[in-house]
Amino acid sequence: MWVPQLSEFNQPMYLSIADALARDINNGVLNEGDRLPTLRELATTLNVTPGTISRAYSEAHRRRLVQGEVGRGTYVLNQKQLELPASNSASAPLNLGQSELLDLSIIKPYSETLEYWLRGALVGMAKSTDFARALDYAPDGGHPAHREAGAQWLRHSLPDAQWQQVVITAGAQHGLMVAMSALTNAGDLVLCEALCYPGIISLAHGLERRLRGVPMDDEGIIPEALRELCLREKPAMLVCVATCQNPTAAIMSQKRRAQIAALAEEFDFIILDDDIYGFLATDPSIKPLSAFAPERSVYLTSLSKSVMPALRVGYIYSPPKLLSRLTSMVRSSVWMPSPLTAQLASNVITEGLDKKLIRIQRNEAAGRQAIAREIFANFELKTQPYSYHVWLTLPEPWTSDEFTMLARANGVLVLSGTQFQAERSGTTRCVRLVLMSPTSQDELRFALTKLASLIDSDPRRYY
């Protein structure tokens, strides 16, 4: 069995393994067609997790050192066949076209119609009499006109939103950073769902906050579990996605939201209400979590999931007492979000294009959800009628890490459930599958069918 020699490397373990693999192929230790150890075998030998080996093999696959194949496992490729031709002035341009992998790992809106609509919005912005304000510095919080457009967007969920309480950010992730940085301190305890968006995890640790995951059920955070945690420690903030939660797709009932808000009042912590998927709610009449505790809540949303990922504009809605801290943090982090982008977003909203695109996305998501429910009818699946993703529980003896690697080897990218664990509590059998990335429903059906076929087989066949 191949065992990498890692003593000379000083970098993350998975990169060291990939580098050792490249070195041993180059030195002739490994040859074309040689089969590599299974995840479990190499993890046991090196005393690391199977997830680390999965990342290493994925990195080696990206470098085109190895390939996974059904029934064979992971094996070494013929490197001579992979050599690129020498560069010269007559060479054809590098092809940056579509990847050979079907990517179900990134949550984003269906893009087929976006170019048509956004091209018109860009031309309209350039011709607008308001275009000049997009070319200069903006005041703290953003131009009043841009903030009013943000308030108009927020009124889908917060009918009484006032532009004076809107802070413009460079997207939702920047909004998370602004709120966590401005409203908590290093060493503070920040709570979130036990399974949460990985961006929250990296942000909290990067800002040196203590992150703790709160146990969940089918509606999200369990109020009784949150209370027990608050009785033991004092949290400064709760980050919560109450609608189409990432990754579980859970939607909190109105009663549950009121219970969470009451606990925030009782234990004096701030709610960061990340409502980026609020437009996908099954029942749009349910109020946002922040509406139940408006004086101690910060509401956050953006246009990246409903309109366009490149439209990096987010909106924070804050109680007046917190506004100065939030606007100051925006200035400290990026000085100001791009007024040019904010102007484009404002045009999209004020002209009603946002409503049109939301209808398109919801209809497309519903069609793709139907495909997922059909293909995974015999598996445990958590989702919502308009959610962009599903949360799939694999049958035993699969683990999410080994399935993720084998799915990639079979041409489909998905995310392992371990990447969503707020406290990295161990192995899981869940994976997140994004439905909106494929260019067509037929392509999605093809990708999901490949995954279902893989799940139906015995994982021991691949090792």
CATH of 11-74, one of 3.40.50.880, 3.30.565.10, 1.10.3720.10, 1.10.10.10: 1.10.10.10
Domain segments of the chain as ranges: 11-74, 100-110+353-459, 129-350
Burial class (CB in 10 A: 0-12, 13-18, 19+), 71: exposed
Predicted confidence band of residue 81 (pLDDT cuts 50, 70, 90) = very low
Reading the block at residue 278, the tokens are 């609020």
pLDDT reading at 118 higher than 80: no
Reading the block at residue 42, the tokens are 């190499």
Burial class (CB in 10 A: 0-12, 13-18, 19+), 208: exposed
Considering only residues 326 and 83, tell me which one the structure prediction assigns the higher pLDDT: 326
Which DSSP string do the residues of 180-192 spell out, in sequence order?
HHHH--TT-EEEE
Question: Could you tell me the sign of the dihedral formed by the alpha carbons of 247, 151, 350, 147, in that order?
Answer: negative
Q: Which helix (H) or strand (E) holds 193?
A: strand 189-193
pLDDT reading at 416 higher than 80: yes
CATH of 100-110+353-459, one of 3.40.50.2300, 3.30.930.10, 3.90.1150.10, 3.40.50.970: 3.90.1150.10
Q: 136-148: per-residue pLDDT in tens?
A: 888 888 999 999 9
- What class, spelled out in words, does domain 129-350 have in CATH? alpha beta
* Cβ pair 195, 420 in contact under 8 A: yes
Question: Could you tell me the sign of the dihedral formed by the alpha carbons of 120, 161, 201, 427, in that order?
Answer: negative
pLDDT at residue 453, as a whole number = 92
Q: Tokens 């968006």 — which residue? A: 197
Q: 362-412: per-residue pLDDT in tens?
A: 999 999 999 999 999 999 999 999 999 999 999 998 999 999 999 998 899
Q: Which helix (H) or strand (E) holds 108?
A: none
